[in-house]
């Protein structure tokens, strides 16, 4: 990784950490069915919780879980190994990822959600996510699976964000 790319990665990680830690106890839980969805606005919590339910169901299928063998960490270790190390099955793993409001700065791009490899905190651009979920619930689900793969250690560029999401949509419906 080149110096500029490394600096950008650390900057992004610092911004994600600052946003998550800055939330403190002010983040509202989504309710009993998705306590890991902690966006402030109820419509955004609902959209993420609903997409999370669909993503969880999709990850229950072997074809979708094949993504864990298709993608690997930077070290070359398949994501399935990282999942096995967590002691959880793929659908359960999503329940251990926490979804928070992203800062306006992070949402200035076209991203719907962002995390760093190995982190269990995903920052969601709530209003943008709600609009996308209204257009395509399957795409919203794919975005959450995409972030779960990053949480398991998948880096990006390579593979590109678009390629990751394309593979998720092909395997998970």
Mention every residue, 6+ apart, whose C-beta is less than 8 A from residue 31. Answer: 45, 49
pLDDT at 108: 84
The residue with tokens 């209003």 is 127
pLDDT at 109: 81
Burial letters 127-154, b for 16+ CB under 10 A, else e: ebbbebbeeeebebbbbbbbbbbbbbbb
Residue length of the chain? 173
Tokens of 58: 């999709």
E strand or H helix at 123, and its extent? strand 121-124
The parent domain of residue 36 ranges over 3-172
pLDDT at 14: 40
pLDDT at 32: 45
Averages of pLDDT over runs of 10 residues in the chain (173 residues) are 43 43 38 83 97 98 98 96 97 97 90 96 97 97 98 95 97 94
pLDDT at 3: 43
pLDDT at 148: 98
For the chain, the domain total comes to 1
């Amino acid at each position: 990784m080149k110096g500029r790319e490394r600096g950008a990665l650390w900057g992004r990680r610092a911004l994600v950490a600052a946003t998550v830690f800055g939330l403190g106890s002010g983040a509202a839980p989504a309710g009993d069915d998705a306590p890991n969805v902690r966006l402030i606005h109820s419509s955004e919590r609902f959209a993420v919780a609903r997409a999370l339910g669909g993503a969880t169901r999709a990850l229950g299928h072997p074809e979708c879980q094949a993504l864990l063998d298709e993608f690997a960490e930077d070290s070359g270790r398949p994501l399935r190994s990282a999942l096995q190390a967590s002691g959880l099955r793929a659908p359960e793993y999503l329940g251990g990822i926490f979804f928070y409001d992203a800062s306006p700065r992070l949402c200035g791009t076209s991203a719907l959600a962002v995390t760093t490899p190995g982190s269990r905190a995903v920052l969601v651009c709530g209003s943008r996510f709600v609009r996308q979920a209204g257009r395509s619930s399957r795409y919203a689900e794919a975005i959450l699976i995409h972030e779960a793969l990053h949480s398991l250690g998948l880096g990006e560029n390579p593979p590109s964000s678009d390629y990751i999401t394309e593979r998720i949509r092909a395997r998970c419906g």
